[in-house]
Amino acid sequence: MAIAAAMLVGAGLIAIAGVSPVKAYAVLFSEALTNYYGFGNTLTKTAPLLLTSLGVLIALKAGQFNIGGEGQIYMGGLGSALVGLYIHGLPSVILVPLALVSGFLFGGLWGMIPGYLKAVRGVNEVITTLLLNYIAQNLISYLVSHPMMETNAPSPFSPPIDAAAQLPILLPQTQTHAGILVGLLATVLVWFGFAYTPLGYQIEAVGQNPIAARYAGISVPRTIIGVMTLAGGLAGLAGAGEVLGLKYRLFENFSPGYGFDAIAIAILCRGNLAGLVLISLFFGALRSGASVMQRSAGVPVTVVYAIQGLTVLFIAISLTLEKKEE
């Protein structure tokens, strides 16, 4: 399979770096999956991946490429941070959902803009989402360096959010927060939506054949705007999770490329939601184990990024080869 091919090339890269690939991979996976703390770390990293890739997948089903996950994550983080920083006096049970919704809305807005531009003005959503990524990243960077900056902080970050806004920790003594539950819940809802509701059918119809869908009475522009907003919202939830559950502050550049991994995951899963969860977990394990691999085996973390990129490449090739055999 394509993942195997990418891992093979990765092994080659690791070997170039002067380390035994077998030893490196062994460390990577045992730390990430069998070790209690390592697994907790894996889950923590899986949560944003799962949520964002869910969004990318939904957009993909409607034929839209949402490359803006990164920017939407940042906007979602901003939205949730705004609630967490400036709204006080509410109990957790209200504040947490409020912050999450705020994150969803901010991310959703960031997805709606390219969605609208594509649906109404015909502007290619790949470029618009990509440009919005950079804009969002810089916006958050500016905000936490200036108006929202913690006084006398050594580097740009915001003051801590209200304690009542924090997401509960699931595994004791780890950083694993409830974000993963949000992700799993969202996955179930999406599965249900596609399997049993007319909306799911509409989305897939637009993705398969927009012209036929229009004759069937489905509004294509509205569907496009809808899926892009939804995708942005889910990515926003991922960002909210990072702020509310992991860091408890808004940092600049807090996303190590989750938005781009999500694209790879969504393409890899071939529309299968169970596969989406598993592959998100795999990527989460890769990221979680990578830092350990660097510490104990001396392999640079960047190997993992290279492997991820190559995986997409090989998947794209294998997908097309399969289609031709039909």
Partner 1 sequence: MRSSFVIPHSPLAPRHFPMNNITFLSDYLAASVRLSVPLAFAALGGLFSERSGVLNIGLEGMLLTGAFVSAAGTFYSGNAWFGVAAAVMAGALVGLLHAYLSVTLRVDQLVSGLAINLSAAGLTAFGSRLVFTAETTQKLAGIDAIALPGLSQLPIIGSLFNQDLIVYGLFLLVPLTTYLLFRTSLGLTLRAVGEYPRAADTAGIWVGRVRYSCVVISGGLAALGGAYLVLVHVKYFTEGISAGKGYIALAALIFGRWHPVGTVLACLLFGATEALQLRVQAFNLNIPYQLLTMLPYITALLALVGLAGKSTPPSALGIPYIKEGSGR
The contact set with partner 1 (CB under 8 A) reads 13, 16-17, 65, 67, 70, 117, 121-124, 126-128, 130-135, 137-139, 141-142, 145-146, 253, 257, 259-260, 263-264, 267, 300, 302-310, 312-313, 315-317, 319-321
- Which residues, in sequence order, are CB contacts of 113 under 8 Å at separation 6+? 128, 132
Q: How far apart are the first and last CA of the chain?
A: 18
Q: State the minimum distance, in angstroms, from the CB of residue 67 to partner 1.
A: 7
CA dist list (Å): 113 to 74, 88, 204, 297, 313: 15, 31, 21, 44, 29
Q: State the minimum distance, in angstroms, from the CB of residue 126 to partner 1.
A: 6
Closer residue to partner 1 in complex, CB, 58/290: 290
Closer residue to partner 1 in complex, CB, 4/93: 4
**What is the four-CA torsion angle of 192, 193, 194, 199, rounded to 10 degrees?**
160
Closer residue to partner 1 in complex, CB, 124/272: 124
SS3 159: coil
Count of beta carbons in the 10 Å neighbourhood of residue 315:
20
**What is the four-CA torsion angle of 136, 140, 142, 144, rounded to 10 degrees?**
180
Closer residue to partner 1 in complex, CB, 94/319: 319
Q: State the minimum distance, in angstroms, from the CB of residue 72 to partner 1.
A: 13
Residue with tokens 């510490």: 295
CB distance 61 to 222 below 8 Å: no
- How far, rounded to the nearest angstrom, does the alpha carbon of residue 107 sit from its chain's CA centroid? 12
Task: Name the residue among 240, 227, 213 with its Cα closest to residue 266.
Answer: 227
CA dist list (Å): 135 to 74, 139, 144: 10, 6, 14
Dist CA 101 CA 29 (whole Å): 35
Closer residue to partner 1 in complex, CB, 138/296: 138
Q: State the minimum distance, in angstroms, from the CB of residue 106 to partner 1.
A: 17
Dist CA 232 CA 62 (whole Å): 14
Dist CA 255 CA 318 (whole Å): 29
Closer residue to partner 1 in complex, CB, 131/199: 131
Q: State the minimum distance, in angstroms, from the CB of residue 65 to partner 1.
A: 6
Q: State the minimum distance, in angstroms, from the CB of residue 188 to partner 1.
A: 28
- For residue 203, the one-letter residue type is I
Closer residue to partner 1 in complex, CB, 82/96: 82
Q: State the minimum distance, in angstroms, from the CB of residue 165 to partner 1.
A: 26
Q: State the minimum distance, in angstroms, from the CB of residue 130 to partner 1.
A: 5
Dist CA 250 CA 237 (whole Å): 14
